[in-house]
Amino acid sequence: MNTLSPGLLLGLLLIVAACSAEAPSNGDASMFDDSNPFYAPSTLPLEAPDFEAISDAHYEPALMAGMERQMAEVEAIAENPEPPTFENTIVALERTGALLTRVQQVFYNMTSAHTNEKIQQIQADMAPRLAEHTDNIRLNADLFARVQTLYEQREALALDEASAKLLRDEYRAFVRAGALLNDEQQQRIREINAELSSLSTEFQEQLLAVTQERAVLVADEDALAGLSADRIAAARAAAEERGHEGQYLLSITNTTRVPVLSSLEDRAVRQQVWEASAHRAIGEDGGIDTRPLVRRLAALRAERAQLLGYDTFAHFVLEPQTAEHPADALAMLTDLIPAVRANTEREAALIQEQMRADGIDDAVQPWDWEYYAERVREAEYDVDQQEVRPYFELNRVLQDGVFYTMNRLYGISFEERFDLPVYHEDVRVFDVLDHDGEQLGLFYADYFARESKRGGAWMSSFVGQSHLLDKKPVVVNVLNIPKPAAGEPALISFDNVTTLFHEMGHGVHGLFSDTRYPSQAMTSVPRDFVEFPSTFEEDWALHPEVLANYAIHHETGERIPEALLDRIIAARDFNQGFETQEYLAATLLDMAWHTLTPDALPDDVLAFEQEALAQHGLDYAPVPPRYKSPYFAHIFSGGYAANYYAYIWSEVLAADAFAYLKEQGGLTRANGDRYRAAVLSRGGSREAMELYQDFRGQEPAVEPLLRRRGLDTSVEAGP
């Protein structure tokens, strides 16, 4: 569930990519004039993008002009004959790049949410230029001298807390970019950054292409036994869109496991779907192979880290995070493994029993796990997903679940509007009003999967909040819920219900932002803190009051029976061994890649992956990593490199915070307002763990996490 905030945009310039490390010659800022909708801030409410006016042709000249304009602003600061002050240097830097930010916030949303060949080509052409632009700012010696002078005088400046942190962060950003290196080293840093930017977008584009390459086409509807009628209709519609009349298309979009695996009765089809997912991007049958990109990205990151004086890329990445050191993150992860493995083995035994009851004597395979996990869930808890899904209609979940909870906790309301242009017909727009009726911001909801959208779910923004710039937030949540056939209701899984709540957690983190400086606004916090507010909101999805309000049968209008509700709540702990182990495997794989030194890079990507899992006792075939290296977008194109551990690190905070608020009365405005004031409104204006400890009154405990995941806490932790 990725986020993209104004404070992350500069970092994004280093991870967007192109197909060549050498900047292309096309693109001309002189083509930028007042006919371009990015020329001035949008005149729509809160500067919302005018998607009716924006065309693909507008992006490149606007990006070029944005870089040119920002460099002029930066050079004016660097060459200012006046002695450096906080206002004429640090605050002045905060004001630069308005045009570039304006176009980037729209463009990079489109590269993920609604891309096409033209957008991909622009992204490829612009990436090395943008990487160079970032280097030109961070490696500007005169500018750094001013920042360094202020940093050395920081005690005498008498800055407020947010300003003092901004100065510290600005200085550190320059140093981490290579400002203290010699000319030769800086030149190599520039070369590495350009190539990294190229390769990471190439990786992103390859995975988008793989989504189409690896989709499974099924000719016979009987082979889809177990799928609901609406899912079969959606598969038929997807096949028709690809020109396969009378057939059925099962898409492969995100994690190793695929949602339909929990329902498909035909074991051979399940195997086909799982293998299409797990074996993607390895050049099978002459298809796309991302493994060379994986090796080169890891090599460049390792080299760059050592140039900057760090042992490994993970050491570089974790320095500004709350974990601070790879050893601390690894200790938390490995301590969970014994309890997780014990739970997974118990789940496997129950699954094996169900398979034998079906007359299958084989060992459990990864394509069996989710199907039989659902059968166990039905048997143990009498919960059938086909019985449950009719109670989870998308719009009702959104209105009477997610929005209802936000109102109960924070007093805010969402009012849909239809006058603002959107980038796709499926996108909806809402005014977000505070408890006193004042408009907080705008919320865009883009929930249905399509071929122009990358897999996963995320929050981003079209406009960032800042009192300095007098801007309110315009936020977007993006999911990949299968779109129902025309005229059919959008009945969703409980996983999708949880994801709606999760992404709204990111959403309110942006909408409640109340900071002066744009680089500290919204979700501009450490990666291993940013998933805390989103994960915190997930648990309200199962709060009895909330669930009873939105879990209503889409045909009969009846509320979900209390007995079924009780079974759903009881059943949520089942399969948490699997859920946690597949995540831990991916996290430790991420750490394995990014704790490599340049001289230790493997020749064989898949062999290295297997060795890394075996090292931690997670090489268990029925539970593969959530993402395997060739399609691990989070770490090779999505900004979570050496940071994928952040989800469970943040979950420790979320589980502890939720348990604490339950003790304080649960779903109340008093609790929500306190959390909003202490955490959600502050962005990155204060050190993240200080925010948490002020809210909670103490450091987080890990026990609520174990209880949240239903893990056996009696199993001893690892060494």
CA distance 378 to 55: 50
User: Taking 90 as the threshold, does the pLDDT of residue 252 lie above it?
Assistant: no
With beta carbons less than 8 A apart as the criterion, state whether 376 and 574 touch.
yes
pLDDT of residue 28: 66
pLDDT in tens, 198-213: 999 999 999 989 988 8
Tell me, what amino acid is at 207? L
Average pLDDT, the chain: 92
With beta carbons less than 8 A apart as the criterion, state whether 584 and 617 touch.
no
User: Taking 60 as the threshold, does the pLDDT of residue 20 lie above it?
Assistant: no
What are the φ and ψ backbone dihedral angles of 443, each rounded to 5 degrees? -125, 120
pLDDT of residue 345: 94
Classify residue 542 as exposed, middle or buried by CB count within 10 Å of its CB (0-12, 13-18, 19+): middle
pLDDT of residue 23: 33
579 CB contacts (<8 Å, ≥6 apart)? 709
CA distance 493 to 393: 9
Strands (E) across 198-283 are located at 216-218, 248-250
CA distance 335 to 332: 5
Angle, vertex CA 48, rays to CA 123 and CA 452, nearest 5: 40
321 CB contacts (<8 Å, ≥6 apart)? 526, 527, 528, 529, 643, 646
pLDDT in tens, 321-366: 999 999 999 998 998 899 899 999 999 999 999 999 999 999 999 9
Report percent pLDDT > 90 for the chain. 82
CA distance 198 to 203: 9
pLDDT in tens, 100-156: 999 999 999 999 999 999 999 999 999 899 999 999 999 999 999 999 999 999 999
CA distance 383 to 432: 36
Query: Domain spans of the chain?
Result: 2-205, 214-280
666 — alpha (psi -120 to 50), left (phi > 0) or beta? left
CA distance 405 to 678: 19
User: Taking 80 as the threshold, does the pLDDT of residue 719 lie above it?
Assistant: no
User: Taking 80 as the threshold, does the pLDDT of residue 711 lie above it?
Assistant: no
CA distance 38 to 113: 19
* Bridging pattern class, strands 458-463 and 439-448: unpaired
Helix (H, G, I), strand (E, B) or coil at 39: coil
CA distance 118 to 694: 48
pLDDT in tens, 669-695: 999 999 999 999 999 999 999 999 999
Sheet bearing 474-481, strands edge to edge: 2-3, 458-463, 474-481, 439-448, 428-433, 413-417
Higher pLDDT pick, 360 / 9: 360
Tell me, what amino acid is at 639? G
pLDDT in tens, 43-89: 999 999 999 999 999 999 999 999 999 999 999 999 999 999 999 99
pLDDT in tens, 515-542: 999 999 999 999 999 999 999 999 999 9
pLDDT of residue 8: 35
Residues 296-300 have a mean pLDDT of 98
Which fold, 2-205? Neurolysin; domain 3 (1.10.1370)
CA 425 to the chain's CA centroid: 23
With beta carbons less than 8 A apart as the criterion, state whether 232 and 181 touch.
no
Set 205, 347, 503, 538: catalytic member: 503
User: Taking 50 as the threshold, does the pLDDT of residue 717 lie above it?
Assistant: no
- Grade residue 26 by pLDDT with cuts at 50, 70 and 90: very low
CA distance 223 to 365: 19
What are the φ and ψ backbone dihedral angles of 350, each rounded to 5 degrees? -65, -40
User: Taking 80 as the threshold, does the pLDDT of residue 652 lie above it?
Assistant: yes
Which residues lie across from 248 on neighbouring strands? 218
* Bridging pattern class, strands 248-250 and 413-417: unpaired
Residue 690: active-site member: no
Count the Cβ atoms, other than its own, within 10 Å of residue 178. Answer: 24
C-alpha distances (whole Å) from 250 to each of 105, 247, 447, 483, 705 are: 32, 10, 18, 12, 34
